[in-house]
Structure 1
Amino acid sequence: MHEPTPSQIAQRLDQLTELSVALGASEDTTLLLERILHAAQSLTHADGGTLYRPSRDRRSLHFHISVNNSLKLRQGGSSGVTVDIPPVPLYDAEGRPNLASVAAWSAHQGRAVNIEDVYLDDVFNFSGMRSFDRQFGYHSQSFLTVPMRDHEGELVGVLQLVNAQDPASGRVQAFSATDQRFIEALAAQAGVALTNQQLLRQLEELLLALVNLINIGIDEKSPYTGRHCQLVPVLTMMLADAVHQTDAGPLADFHMSDATRRELWLAGLLHDCGKITTPVHVVDKATKLETLFDRIHLIDTRFEVLLRDAELRALRAVAAGGDADALRAALDEECTALRADRAFLRHANVGTESMSNADQERVRRIGPDGQEQPFLSDDELKNLHIRAGTLTEDERKIINNHIVMTVRMLESLPWPRHLQNVPEFAGGHHERMDGKGYPRGLTKEQMSVPARVMAIADIFEALTARDRPYKKGKMLSESLHILGKFSENGHIDPDLFDIFIRRKVYLDYARKHMDPRQVDTIDEALIPGYIP
């Protein structure tokens, strides 16, 4: 065993410093572990090495990566070769610590083990190593085993090196004390790097869990909105990927990094988080008269009273000597008119694309009828008079306020740098390219491409959704026609709409997420705003 020279030590310190920077910047755990093992071999000129990771239940050590340069063996990690070595148990059947295995001993004791010649060692069980040597015609000799722990002392791995080699002659020698100190320093840095990655991953998992928690809350209030929150990010990513792959046209320069993809997906999940503050009777208002219940039933009852009263008047008139046939004819005419008005109000209670002026006038004409008070209250008259949909102007303002709440909620969070665009991506899906949208009246030039993508996804999902209580899902052709009109009138980005059609994003989404009965034949030449 030869201790390294001062110049060799200086060189190793440089390597260790460079590695520290690299470990801190690495985001891929597999590549990070491979870099750790490769660095350890390089620092000590080790011929082989193994990196163990504790199992999820922390009852055993699993071979994560195994390397032997002389034998040209690579298992685990990014090699694509499955590690076929059984795990090392950390405890026996009775729950006692396994101290016979050098890797398990090091894990339990938190100390390095440096063995000059394993064939002369009588402390640990090296039967597995001897079996390996016989199988591959190899001779294991020097071993250096070092535990890796996090800042709280928890085991995150075990690093094991085999057969230190003299740099000049290649002769196998023992690992020096300096080798051990360098590997212990590397293991400490590696433990921190692995812990940082683990903490970041756990924080991202926690963030996604909190997002799902919000969506669960929305889903409990309104399963229709909950499904919308699940599908909008799916369609958003489908269109964003299509734009990313486009190499011609105005959007040819748009490219997404992995970080932007994460931001956009998260923004899609959160784009309607403000609806958690919206009253459920407004979100799911299926008919014009619905509040906690559909008040059309109250109006039905009033009609029943009117029909009963008409019949009682006719019977009294007959009993008083009136002309029975004439009274019966008059009763039939009155009841027919009442039933017609009842059927009309039932129909008017259902939201439509556009209520005619004549129907609105008929509602106004029915409203004041009544002897002691108007047949329809002011609120009932106001609701049944709604021209499009089921919402009054005040209720529409409540619905529209969800995006204001979404922006407020998202902008109040201390987003890390790699997620700082989530509020902008999520908060722009009700803006219009001509600046007539809300809440901020942004124009196309003031919006990012991902925010404009989400606007299209939000509209198309809403048009095709088949589970809304206030409307049926539109046919694919009708939805594309409406979206095309939006492209022409400055509502959505025409460049993105072109990609949406040209790259068949609409069709991929329809086949996966729409009712097959809605997916009719599409002639793209007939879609407004699109030039094949």
Structure 2
Amino acid sequence: MADKDDLRSLLKRLEQLNAVGAALSRERDLGRLLELILDAAQTLTGADGGTLYRVTEDGSALRFVLMRTLSLGVRKGGQGEEPLDLPLLPLYLQDGTPNDHLVAVHAAVHDTTVAIDDAYDSARFDFSGTRSFDARTGYRSRSFLTVPLKNHDSEIIGVLQLINASDAQTGAVRPFSAGERRIAESLSSQAAIALTNRLLIDQLERLFESFVNLINQAIDEKSPYTGGHCQRVPRLTMMLAEAAHETAEGPLAAFSMTERDRYELKMAGLLHDCGKITTPVHVVDKATKLQTIYDRIGLVDTRFEVLKRDAEIDALRRQLALRPVVDETAERGLLDGLRRQGQELDAERDFLRACNVGSESMSAADQERLRAISARREWRNPEGVPTALLSSDELENLGIRKGTLTQAERDIINYHIVSTIRMLESLPWPRHLRNVPEYAGGHHERMDGKGYPRGLTREQMSWQARMLGIADIFEALTAVDRPYKHGMKLSQALAIMRGMREGGHIDPDLFDVFVKEKVYLRYAREFLDPAQIDV
């Protein structure tokens, strides 16, 4: 009968071991995975206590990661638990010999499982630290089972140590059985594989994120006016996504995200403007209408100075011609005319300077005055040839109705989204990131199908792409680091976006969440100047 009970117990533990193995392979969070390994080991072996160590990155020591003692209620090192601040256990002594007096180090260095029936009777290893713990807590650490964790390259990556196997009937401390040793070794093997896979995935994700940040850094160094944008838009997008995830009513009540969904959207946000790496910097940074590599308004200023100089020379010549007849009235008329002409030229120059500064809208009257000045004024170039005051390119730029970009330059700017889509669609995305190109590539589309580059409608876009669109617009309206505009106050930005909501530009349901849940305010408190927060 006892044999049958032992067999049933063994089969039950094997079933638990299989279930634990499946759970280990599914767990994506490294911290939770480590806790799962130790908790499962204690459950499968009946251990009251347990410690999990990891080999440090330089491979020189063991680091305490988790500590558990069920009977004392001790849980340290896990998420939301008391941190473990214990010294490292060096694997080798100063003379290069293995640090064999510590049982956990011995198991790691020699890749061997160590079972000890009673630590107080063992002279092989130094248990002074254990005895110190026992003295402080009134505990008695007796039986030990120490198992190394070895990855697929046969490298030791950690150590699992179990303490005080308990009798299922009486609760008395007993030695670990041979069966429990095999189960612990089997679990350690599965745990090492799961842990190694998780570490590899984490390393690849960190590498990928570093590569993404490298792209944004390149854009930042190319143009400091867009680098902040590349960081702020993902943050605002995630704020809106979390608000939508928490929404329990309305069209977004069914929207939810897993951790993988969050990571996918985060990556899309970070990469949404990666195509800007192909955009000429003089277009991205165009702060005034006449700016190219430099602001050409200085050339226009020079031409006005030439016109004023020529007017003054002409007046002086005519004044000299009057001197033989000494006509003071005529001379005074010449000087008054020269002064009026100078004032007129100064007014026109100031007007062109004002035109050069981009604004939300240039009036039709100002555009007409600009054309009239260009048609009326000529200056003599360095070769002495009469030339129009403004070239056709300068006239086109100064006449820009809104902002600082010509239509050709806007097309160059807009092409960045085409570059973004091409770049992202060329990558072999894993399944959990396959939507990144769609999310990132849709942030300039409109709900009414009038956006670019594909003219998608609301129904053809994911919620995530629509979120990125709202975040991109709001960040642009409130950003204070753009060369051609001041950052708007919240009330002004929200008023403009309400108009976009009604005009079919942005998703109305998402914008309602954006406003109702005060996503804009949380973002503003983190990123905007306090003077912009007026609602």
Counterpart residue identity of residue 305, structure 2: E
SS of the aligned residue for 1:390 comes to: coil
1:509 aligns with 2:520: no
SS of the aligned residue for 2:386 comes to: coil
How far did residue 57 of structure 1 move? Answer: 4.5
Q: Map of 1:263-412 to 2, 5 A cutoff? A: 263-321=264-322, 323-368=330-375, 369-370=377-378, 372-412=386-426
Residues 359-406 of structure 1: per-residue CA shift (max 9 Å, x gap): 222222222432622221121111112111111111010011111111
**Given the superposition, is the C-alpha separation of residues 84 and 224 from structure 1 closer, same or farther in structure 2, using an over 3 Å criterion?**
closer
Match of 2:428 in 1: 414
Distance 2:198 2:519 in 1: 35
CA contact (8 A) 1:23 1:193 kept: yes
1:426 to 440, 450, 453: 440
Residues 91-127 of structure 1: per-residue CA shift (max 9 Å, x gap): 3455543111111111111222223443443322222
Match of 2:89 in 1: 88
Counterpart residue identity of residue 395, structure 1: E
How far did residue 481 of structure 1 move? Answer: 1.6
The percent of aligned pairs where both chains have the same amino acid is 58
Match of 1:65 in 2: 66
Match of 2:148 in 1: 147
Distance 2:426 2:493 in 1: 35
How far did residue 299 of structure 1 move? Answer: 0.9
Match of 2:30 in 1: 29
Match of 1:103 in 2: 104
How far did residue 282 of structure 1 move? Answer: 0.4
CA contact (8 A) 1:116 1:141 kept: yes
Match of 1:16 in 2: 17
Distance 2:85 2:305 in 1: 80
Q: How many residues align?
A: 520
Distance 1:81 1:394 in 2: 60
Match of 1:261 in 2: 262
Counterpart residue identity of residue 359, structure 2: T
**Given the superposition, is the C-alpha separation of residues 360 and 253 from structure 1 closer, same or farther in structure 2, using an over 3 Å criterion?**
same
Distance 1:71 1:364 in 2: 87
Residues 280-327 of structure 1: per-residue CA shift (max 9 Å, x gap): 110111111100000110111111111111111111222223642222
Normalised by the length of structure 1, the TM-score is 0.90
Counterpart residue identity of residue 334, structure 1: Q
Counterpart residue identity of residue 484, structure 2: Y
Counterpart residue identity of residue 271, structure 2: L
Contiguous gaps of at least 5 residues in structure 1: 523-532
How far did residue 35 of structure 1 move? Answer: 2.6
1:439 aligns with 2:453: yes
**Given the superposition, is the C-alpha separation of residues 335 and 197 from structure 1 closer, same or farther in structure 2, using an over 3 Å criterion?**
same
More deviation, 415-424/171-180: 171-180
**Given the superposition, is the C-alpha separation of residues 168 and 476 from structure 1 closer, same or farther in structure 2, using an over 3 Å criterion?**
closer
1:248 aligns with 2:255: no
**Given the superposition, is the C-alpha separation of residues 488 and 302 from structure 1 closer, same or farther in structure 2, using an over 3 Å criterion?**
same
Match of 1:485 in 2: 499
How far did residue 85 of structure 1 move? Answer: 5.5
Contiguous gaps of at least 5 residues in structure 2: 324-329, 379-384
Distance 1:50 1:312 in 2: 95
Distance 2:133 2:182 in 1: 28
SS of the aligned residue for 2:388 comes to: coil
Distance 1:455 1:481 in 2: 17
Distance 1:142 1:492 in 2: 66
Residues 118-177 of structure 1: per-residue CA shift (max 9 Å, x gap): 344332222223344444454444322111122223332111223445556656544344
**Given the superposition, is the C-alpha separation of residues 135 and 324 from structure 1 closer, same or farther in structure 2, using an over 3 Å criterion?**
closer
1:465 to 479, 499, 506: 479
